[in-house]
Structure 1
């Protein structure tokens, strides 16, 4: 009998939807996160007085964090997907389905 996997989650997702991406790199969610970070940083730069260098770095922090989250990395879509995969790995129930050359699916070899 064949086993059916109902929910297949992998630690390294395949990049099979590159045609659905904007500029073949970004998802719409990625661009929204980046846009919110840049917009918030611009608002902070306009309305908060920049007293010293430390305050200026704090004002630039939303744009820097959002840019880091949407940064493309190998084997994952971006840093945000990597963080989601790591959190999913450590928090969700783990069921490892292994099939190799010596797998015995509960059936006796006859």
Structure 2
């Protein structure tokens, strides 16, 4: 008998620090690098300019924050967009369906 049970957290071994995918870390490091570059280029003492320069690291940081039931915020946004853009037509085949659906299925076979 070669039936192996896979533990629920088997995918965590493929993640970096058991939390991040490589794409997440690349995206966050690009945002942090862009923010550092903007801070070095502007060299302003204005609070508004400093906040605008730190926006890339803030946005990418919020996108890679882990949340329950999804991997992170980016995965949740991708799932929402996929749900609305790739809408499929689901036909109810439960215990109570109309006779017209049942007759269509019989005619197709």
Classify the TM-score, shorter chain: 0.7 to 0.9
Tell me which residue corresponds to 2:86. Answer: 92
CA RMSD in angstroms comes to 2.5
C-alpha displacement of 1:97: 6.9
Instruction: Tell me the alpha carbon deviations over residues 30-50 of structure 1, each in whole angstroms, 9 at most, x when there is no partner.
Output: 000000000111111111132
Name the SS for the 2:54 alignment partner: helix
Bigger Rg, structure 1 or 2: 2
Matches within 5 A, 1:66-81: 66-81=60-75
Question: Residue 76 and residue 97 in structure 1: after superposition, are their counterparts in 2 closer, same or farther (change >3 A)?
Answer: farther
> How far off is 1:98 after superposition?
6.1
- Between the aligned partners of 2:26 and 2:92, the Cα distance in structure 1 is 38
- State the alpha-carbon separation in 1 of the partners of residues 69 and 38 from structure 2: 35
Number of matched residues?
A: 93
Q: Which moved more, 1:83-92 or 1:45-54?
A: 45-54
- Say whether the 8 Å CA contact 1:15–1:77 is kept in structure 2: no
Higher helix share: 2
Alpha-carbon offset, residue 95 of structure 1: 3.9
Ranges in structure 1 where 5+ consecutive residues have no aligned partner:
1-13
Q: Kindly indicate whether structure 1 or structure 2 has the higher relative contact order, using CA contacts under 8 Å at least 6 residues apart.
A: 1
Unaligned 5+ residue runs, structure 2?
Answer: 1-7
1-structure distance, mates of 2:9, 2:93? 23
